[in-house]
């Protein structure tokens, strides 16, 4: 059974101090789009740094979310924002990954000189990963935030909101 928005509690959003602005943008996106409460926590070290694969020079997103999920004392959903390039098996890179109650979003490939576009990309990826934490799967509607982004251009084309079908799944 998928958790409904009303039963999801709040989302803990973490990052290092260098990504404080991104953490605040992520918190606002979760609150504005999904209506969930958020709490923010600044970390001294990026937990993704502990899962860097030296051959790839990327952090393993799956290992990072597993570690965060096992070692956290938080009872709700958790989202970590990292500046490191991340991947998971079978993919050259990913923008984010959600597993059980924990997700990670990397800003590494979302960055651009267009600040408004960067913020919009971050908002979309944050809402997408928290959508997975709430039980949503990838959507076939290319305008839906839950549409799978294979490239950053795919992210640019989709919206920040869940489509009507995905929204109804969240509210059921």
Positions marked catalytic: 129
CA neighbor of 160 nearest in space, from 3, 30, 71:
30
Structural contact between residues 49 and 78, judged by C-beta atoms closer than 8 angstroms: no
Q: Which residues contact 104 (CB under 8 A, 6 or more apart)?
A: 48, 61, 64, 65, 68, 79, 80, 81, 82, 86, 96, 97, 129
């Amino acid at each position: 059974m998928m958790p409904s928005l009303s039963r999801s509690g709040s989302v803990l959003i973490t990052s290092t101090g260098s990504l404080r602005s991104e953490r605040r943008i992520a918190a606002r996106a979760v609150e504005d789009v999904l209506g969930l409460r958020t709490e923010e926590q600044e970390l001294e070290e990026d937990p993704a740094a502990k899962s860097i694969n030296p051959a790839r020079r990327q952090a393993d997103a799956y290992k990072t979310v597993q570690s965060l999920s096992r070692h956290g004392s938080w009872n709700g959903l958790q989202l970590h924002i990292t500046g490191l390039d991340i991947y998971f098996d079978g993919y050259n890179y990913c923008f984010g990954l959600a597993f059980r109650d924990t997700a990670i979003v990397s800003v590494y490939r979302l960055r651009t000189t267009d600040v408004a576009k960067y913020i919009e990309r971050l908002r979309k990826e944050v809402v997408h990963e928290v959508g997975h934490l709430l039980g949503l799967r990838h959507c076939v509607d290319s305008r839906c935030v839950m549409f799978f982004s294979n490239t950053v251009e795919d992210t640019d084309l989709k919206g920040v909101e869940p489509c009507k079908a995905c929204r109804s799944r969240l509210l059921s």
